[in-house]
Amino acid sequence: MLSSEVQNSAAHSVLCWLATVDGNGQPNVSPKEIFAAFDSEHLVIANIASPTSVRNIEVNPLVCVSFIDVFVQKGFKVAGTARNVRRQDTEFSRWAAPLEAKAGPRFPIHSVLVVRATAIDPILAPSYRLYSTETTEQSQVASAMRAYGVQPARGDA
């Protein structure tokens, strides 16, 4: 389900947004900086400071994770079910491995939110649909760089 295109998009996204719902139906959306596509079925998200997300998942495992490359302005929405794998659980090391490589010693991972994907939809900036003949990834990157006031790193131009 998590194709190479989805996995590549996750790898090029700086943040993801995790949507959860509590027992009263109150939604919560929280940005997560340390996340990864684990395999063709799962995303993993580090619980560094996410007590509300963890609490909500324990009550209602249905989640939605969204991520985009802010320059290309494309990404994916992944719906699925999540579970919280705690540090003391025997499977923690396996799920946490790609996250610990990203977090390093500076950000302690308390647990791993393991999301099993059940549906995936692309996210595209409206320009791709409204102006499909003139919108390219290159034009979107150039536009985003102007908007954010940034330049490509040397060697990336």
pLDDT in tens, 45-58: 999 999 999 999 99
Average pLDDT over residues 74-84: 98
Q: What is the pLDDT of residues 104-133, one digit of tens each?
A: 888 999 999 999 999 999 999 999 999 999
CA dihedral 38, 43, 49, 53 (to 10 degrees): -160
- CATH number for the region 4-125 comes to 2.30.110.10
Provide the whole-model pTM: 0.90
Question: Whats the size of the chain, residue-wise?
Answer: 157
Looking at residue 52, its pLDDT comes to: 97
Q: What Å distances lie between residue 49 and 24, 34, 95, 108, 129, CA to CA?
A: 22, 11, 18, 9, 37
CB atoms within 10 A of CB 19: 17
Domain boundaries, the chain: 4-125
Looking at residue 23, its pLDDT comes to: 93
Any idea what DSSP says for residue 70? T
- 13 Cβ partners below 8 Å, 6+ apart? 67, 68, 69, 70, 75
d(CA 34, CA 16): 8
